[in-house]
């Protein structure tokens, strides 16, 4: 099989490229080596991958791409903060790049499938909550007066009890809250009307694993926590530190791509997540154990208006695709962040 992996120099893309090489595939790796992410080509690049370092916005495929059978499209400029600073650049890179890829894909005569990497950010605040006391359901909206009083959980409008988050499924309507999430949803829309080959869209929760950059100003919360703890700098957690997050191990992303590529069980949309809730204070404890340091977080209180209290994915679909339970953060942190 001949596979084109876009974003192949990145944290996730490099692992996917490695996995296909290990299976005997011929792999072309396309990456822009964006200077906001890379300082030259990373030293972990696979010598058996045929790399093409260019931006999708200006890429023109040569004869190497004529017989591509599978496209795994991960290339995107990321970071919520960066997207707020560079909205035109982020939308142009992510949406125009994807649209051009789709355009060229129509001419790939041997193409059998496209697997696209999207994000939980497309869901925005479309999480649902249920009250365990009275059974009422509602959104994740929180009142500022509650949070000023130190009541950070989502409160039931019917009985005033604390509500519990319901894991989000692939059926939830996209409602991105910021530019990055909007650009990822617009990427998905680029495939509307594309009938040349099946398209599978993976929506990642926040990913972690080896090669994740910890010292990056655009780093995700889990990368920041790991970086601080590794440097023995106590993380400062807002609210009460009991916010729930769902982190997915890169090995589960690779397993999902490999399974989808076979076409045997390939749903159109897959939430690639662990489905295992981890609170921020628990994550700090797990990370400290993984890197073998004594570093506990400081719970500083306060809050940022607009922050979601909890994020949790329903892993039912991805569990069926990969044929096992995804890796929980408690089980995966040591391999991702521990000493080699």
Q: Tell me the pLDDT tens digit for each residue of 44-65.
A: 999 999 999 999 999 999 999 9
What is the spatial distance between Cα 89 and Cα 79, in angstroms, rounded to a whole number? 12
Q: How confident is the model at residue 218 (pLDDT cuts 50, 70, 90)?
A: low
Identify the pLDDT of residue 205: 96
How buried is 203 (Cβ within 10 angstroms: 0-12 exposed, 13-18 middle, 19+ buried)? buried
Q: Does residue 281 surpass a pLDDT of 60?
A: yes
Across residues 118-132, what is the average pLDDT? 95
Q: How many CB atoms lie within 10 A of CB 228?
A: 18
Q: In sequence order, what are the beta bridge partners of 284?
A: none
Length of the chain: 340
User: Could you report how far apart the first and last alpha carbons of the chain are, in Å?
Assistant: 33
pLDDT of 40 higher than 90? no
13's CB contacts (< 8 A; 6+ apart) are 5, 6, 7, 29, 31, 72, 74, 75
What's the pLDDT score for residue 160?
A: 94
97's tokens: 């790049």
Task: Please tell me the distance from the alpha carbon of residue 285 to that of residue 175, in angstroms, as a whole number.
Answer: 33
Domain 213-246+275-340 has CATH 1.20.58.220: no
Q: Are strands 113-119 and 199-204 parallel, antiparallel or unpaired?
A: parallel
Sorted by where each begins, the domain ranges of the chain are: 1-125+168-204, 128-167, 213-246+275-340
Instruction: Please give the mean pLDDT across all residues of the chain.
Output: 95
Q: How many CA atoms lie within 13 A of 72 on its CB side?
A: 30
The whole-angstrom separation of Cα 154 and Cα 312 is 14
pLDDT of residue 216: 66
Which pLDDT tens digit goes with each residue over 137-166? 999 999 999 999 999 999 999 999 999 999
Q: What is the pLDDT of residue 145?
A: 92
d(CA 163, CA 132): 7
Give the HSE-up count for residue 228: Cα atoms under 13 Å, Cβ half-sphere.
20
Average pLDDT over residues 123-142: 94
User: Measured in whole angstroms, how far is the alpha carbon of residue 56 from the centre of its chain?
Assistant: 20
Q: What is the DSSP string of 206-229?
A: EEE-TT--SS-TT--HHHHHHHHH
Averaged over 102-131, what is the pLDDT? 96
Model pLDDT, residue 171: 96
What homologous superfamily is domain 1-125+168-204 in, according to CATH? NAD(P)-binding Rossmann-like Domain (3.40.50.720)
Task: Grade residue 82 by pLDDT with cuts at 50, 70 and 90.
Answer: confident
**Residue 24 Ramachandran class (φ > 0 left, ψ -120 to 50 alpha, else beta):** left
């Amino acid at each position: 099989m001949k596979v084109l992996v876009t974003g192949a120099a990145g944290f996730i893309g490099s692992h996917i490229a490695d996995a296909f090489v290990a299976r005997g595939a011929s792999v072309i790796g396309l990456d822009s080596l964006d200077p906001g992410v890379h300082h030259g080509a990373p030293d972990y690049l696979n010598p058996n991958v045929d790399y093409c370092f260019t931006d999708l916005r200006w890429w023109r495929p040569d004869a190497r791409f004529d017989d591509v059978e599978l496209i795994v499209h991960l290339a995107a400029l990321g970071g919520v903060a960066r997207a707020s600073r560079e909205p035109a650049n982020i939308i142009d890179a992510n949406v125009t790049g994807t649209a051009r890829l789709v355009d060229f894909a129509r001419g790939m005569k041997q193409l059998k499938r496209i697997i696209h990497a999207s994000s939980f950010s497309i869901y925005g605040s479309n999480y649902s909550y249920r009250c365990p006391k009275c059974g009422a359901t509602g959104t994740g909206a929180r009142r500022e007066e509650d949070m000023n009083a130190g009541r950070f959980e989502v409160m039931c409008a019917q009985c005033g009890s604390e509500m519990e988050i319901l894991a989000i499924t692939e059926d939830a309507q996209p409602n991105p809250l910021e530019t990055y999430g909007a650009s990822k949803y617009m990427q998905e829309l680029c495939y509307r009307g594309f009938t040349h080959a099946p398209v599978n869209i993976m929506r990642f929760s926040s990913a972690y694993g080896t090669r994740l950059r910890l010292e990056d100003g655009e780093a995700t919360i889990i990368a920041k926590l790991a970086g601080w703890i590794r440097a023995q700098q106590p993380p400062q957690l807002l609210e009460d530190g009991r916010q729930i997050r769902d982190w997915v191990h890169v090995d589960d992303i690779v397993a999902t791509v490999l399974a989808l590529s076979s076409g045997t069980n390939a749903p159109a949309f897959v939430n690639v997540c662990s489905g295992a809730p981890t609170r921020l204070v628990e994550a700090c404890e797990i990370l400290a154990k993984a890197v073998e340091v004594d570093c506990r977080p400081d719970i500083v209180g306060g809050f940022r208006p607009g922050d979601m209290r909890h994020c949790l994915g329903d892993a039912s679909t991805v569990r069926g695709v990969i044929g096992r339970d995804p890796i929980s953060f408690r089980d995966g942190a040591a391999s991702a962040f521990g000493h080699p």
